[in-house]
Amino acid sequence: MDIILDFDGTITTHDTIHTLANYAISKNGGSTEWDDIVKAYTLDHEEFHAQYSPGAADRTTAEEELTFLNCLRGVEQASLGRVQNSGLFRAISPDDLSRFGESAVKTGTVRIRPGFRELRARLSGHLAVVSVNWSADFIRGCCGSDGDGLEVFANAIEFPSGQLVCPVPGGEGVLLTARDKFVTLQTVARRWGRKPEELVYVGDSTTDLECLLACKGIVMAEDVTKGLVETLRRLGFEVRHVADCKPDFRIAWARDFKEILDSGILGSTVTSEAEKS
């Protein structure tokens, strides 16, 4: 079985957008502009949530939740426009971003979840990252060179303009929403000769919801009383810990990749410790 992973909050323990922005500020300045971008984005989100109907408590089906999530495109596009207009990433090359990713992991600025490198080493199938992160080069740098065949499908920062583009075949503009990620997942599945339901998808946030529901889904979570696990349960899905699941699971949750590997739910997708050695 082949596996697709989200990046921020899934491979990493926390979202890295602020880390990436701080790096750009160190190169180009613009801390005030970034603060304004964050404030405007937060305000837009709060206003959208307050005005959208039905509210969260009244959205009880996957269709209702996905409609809500995809309506957020306007908020995301507005924020992206502010980033583009700020020139935050101008003259920062792909190599700069990749090297920064490597450095951020080495210094602990970006933390990789336990078991990720072991999964890469033991996986017998395809492995890809699908992310709404702004820089595929940064993601590659963070993930490092251990193992072979990690494909990254994400936005890219164009050099030297600093504009964000989406180089994913079949993509429609920049990856911003749950639907964008699902369209990309379908592209990846076709490249691998698979159907989405034949894949395992691991993610942590609502932008992963449509992908999780289309595949065998694993939610990366440390607190199951909130976040994506809580959302799935509100929508009527049973979400058990990976240790309580079998290889024919539908949706599960784990704290890290080590728990996923130890649970055995990936079956023959990964080699055993004995086979690895």
Q: What is the DSSP letter of 113?
A: P
> Under a CB-based contact definition with an 8 Å cutoff, are residues 129 and 143 in contact?
yes
Task: State how far the Cα of 100 lies from the Cα of 20, in Å rounded to an integer.
Answer: 9
Give whole-number Cα distances, 227 to 49, 71, 72, 88, 264, in Å.
15, 19, 17, 30, 25
pLDDT on residue 32? 92
Out of 1-15, 75-89, 136-150, pick the least confident.
136-150
pLDDT on residue 72? 96
Question: Does residue 5 carry a pLDDT above 60?
Answer: yes
Radius of gyration of the chain (CA): 18
If one counts every other C-beta atom within 10 angstroms of the C-beta of residue 135, the result is 29
pLDDT on residue 147? 47
pLDDT band at 172 (very low <50, low <70, confident <90, very high): low
Question: Does residue 270 carry a pLDDT above 90?
Answer: no
Average pLDDT over residues 95-121: 97
Locate 243 and state its tokens. Answer: 């240790």
Question: Does residue 233 carry a pLDDT above 70?
Answer: yes
pLDDT on residue 146? 52
What total of structural domains would you count in the chain?
1
SS (H, E, C) 55-87: CHHHCCCHHHHHHHHHCCHHHHHHHHHHHHHHC
Q: What pTM does this model have?
A: 0.95
pLDDT on residue 114? 98
pLDDT on residue 33? 93
- pLDDT, tens digit, 9 for 90 and up, residues 54-76: 999 999 999 999 999 999 999 99
- pLDDT, tens digit, 9 for 90 and up, residues 198-221: 999 999 999 999 999 999 999 999
- pLDDT, tens digit, 9 for 90 and up, residues 125-156: 999 999 999 999 999 999 997 546 799 999 99
- The alpha helices in the chain, defined as continuous H runs, are 17-28, 31-51, 62-70, 73-86, 94-107, 116-122, 136-143, 178-192, 209-214, 227-234, 257-263, 273-276
Mean pLDDT of the chain: 93
Task: State how far the Cα of 214 lies from the Cα of 200, in Å rounded to an integer.
Answer: 9
Domain of residue 15, residue span = 2-276
pLDDT band at 109 (very low <50, low <70, confident <90, very high): very high
* CATH code, domain with 12: 3.40.50.1000
- pLDDT, tens digit, 9 for 90 and up, residues 180-193: 999 999 999 999 99
SS3 229: helix
